[in-house]
Structure formats: C-alpha cells, structure tokens
Amino acid sequence: MDGAYGLHSTVADYSDKALMSPEDLILQSEYQSLLSSETLRLRIPILGSEELLSEAASIRTEEDMSALIKAKIASHPCYPRLLEAYIDCQKVGAPPGIACFLDEIRRENDLFKQGAVSTYWGADPELDEFMETYCDLLVKYKSDLERPFDEATTFLNKIEMQLRNLCTGASFRSLSDEGAPSSDEELSGGELDMHEAQPSGEDRELKDKLLRRFGSHIGTLKLEFSKKKKKGKLPKEARQTLLGWWDAHYKWPYPTVCISLSS
C-alpha cells in the first residue's frame, strides 16, 4: 500500500537525509563566510538592487545638474550685480556688525572673481533673461524694504526735534528776567523762539567771541535794565472783563449816541 501511494520512497529519502554524517553538515562559521563571499553575492540577486541603483543614479544626476546650473550662474556677467543686489537687501535694517560682515563677503567675492573666467553675454539667452529679471526684482525689493525704515526714521527724528525744541524753549523762557510777553505775542513768536534756540556751530562761535569782547558792557546794561520798573500786568479778573467787553463790542467798539448824551 505504501508503494501504491508513493510513501515508501518519501520515507526512505527522509531517513537518508536524517541520517547524514557530520562530515556532510555545514558549520555556522562556514555558513557565515559563505554568505559574505563574493561568489554567493553574484549568484544570488539582492532584492530591490536595481531600484536602489537607479535611484542613486537619478540623485547623482540631479546633483550634477544643480552643480552645473550653479557654475553657469556664478560665471555669468550679471552675477556680481546679482550678488550686490542680494547683499543690499540683507543689509536693510541689519545691525552694524551684520552689515560689516556682509560687506566683507562682498569684498572676498570681488577678489575671487578677479581670477575667475566668466562667460559672454548671449551664450545662454534663457539664463541671461533670468539674471536680468532677478536683479531687477532684488532692486525693487530693496526699495520696498527701505520705505518703512525711512518713514520710521523720519518720524523719530521729527519727534526728537519737537521734544528738543520744547525743552529748549521752556528753559529759555524760564531764564529770561524781562517782562513776560502777552498771549498774542506768545502765539506769534513761539515758533520763532524755538528755531532761534538752536544755534549752529558758527553762531555759537560768534556768540563766544562777542561775549569775550563785550561781556562786561553787556553785564552793565543788564544791571541797569534790572533796576528799571518792570511792566505791570493787569489782574486776571480785569483782563477777563476787558476780553468779555471786546468780544461783545469788537464789531463797533465806539459808544452809542445814547451813551454819549448820558455822559
């Protein structure tokens, strides 16, 4: 029955393999050396090796193309202009240390480009158009970046000048001993005092020379003026009464006929 179903031969083969001698077995060390041998690697294909090789080749090709494009851009006649426009954009609003560092990079690039060989205009029309367009874009971008900084700087300078004028005008008025001007004089001459309170270098030098030459005479005159009686001012209530009367009669400040007859 075993022969009819083919079991006898299978059992015999299994028994033969199970009773193999130790000489026919492969040791673990020999198995590891066999796996690492070059002959086995050549005979047994590695799973996915072709895909890995093709991917590595494509990556190498992309890197070569990128390096070629960079070399073309660096050797283009517009590259110094492109680099200068890019550095100018980076310098907008940058601290002084960063600005000096960018200038150093520009100088080093200029020295490097003196010995480099550049291509001629028209060798690659597409690259020529790209370089020209990109340079113009960087110049416009720089102007757009500078606009808010310039506006902020102008605003701060204006505020600083106004504050300085206010402080200088207040100190100048507090030091003056002559009679205080009226409200109309203050409104009309306040702006002039603030501008005159900022002498330039030449005016300051001239003032020092005049003080050294006529200082004693000026001191004498000031002493005489201080002895004179200062102009008196009306009380506040009297001034308010006069202002109220003027507001009511400014169109015709003359007495009427009835008032004239009664007086």
pLDDT digits (tens, 9 = 90+) for 96-152: 899 899 988 888 877 766 555 566 666 788 888 999 999 999 999 999 999 988 888
pLDDT for 138: 93
d(CA 243, CA 239): 6
CB 227 within 8 A of CB 178: no
CA distances from 15 to 6, 11, 20 (A): 15, 6, 9
CB 181 within 8 A of CB 189: yes
d(CA 105, CA 87): 9
Query: Cα–chain-centroid distance for residue 94?
Result: 5
Q: Which residue has the tokens 């020379």?
A: 209
CB 150 within 8 A of CB 93: no
CB 142 within 8 A of CB 88: yes
Collapsed DSSP state (helix, strand, coil) of residue 231: coil
Residue 251, CB-side half-sphere exposure with 13 Å CA sphere: 1
d(CA 11, CA 17): 10
What is the pLDDT tens value at each position of the chain, 263 positions in all?
444 444 444 444 544 544 444 445 445 555 455 545 545 444 444 445 566 666 777 777 778 788 888 888 888 888 888 999 999 999 988 888 998 999 888 888 777 665 555 666 667 888 889 999 999 999 999 999 999 888 888 888 888 888 888 877 655 555 554 444 454 444 444 444 444 445 566 677 777 776 777 666 667 767 766 666 556 677 888 888 888 888 887 777 776 766 666 65
pLDDT for 15: 46
What lies within 8 Å, CB to CB, of 164 at 6+ separation is 198
pLDDT for 132: 92
Collapsed DSSP state (helix, strand, coil) of residue 201: helix
- Burial category of 61 from C-beta neighbours within 10 Å (exposed 0-12, middle 13-18, buried 19 and up): exposed
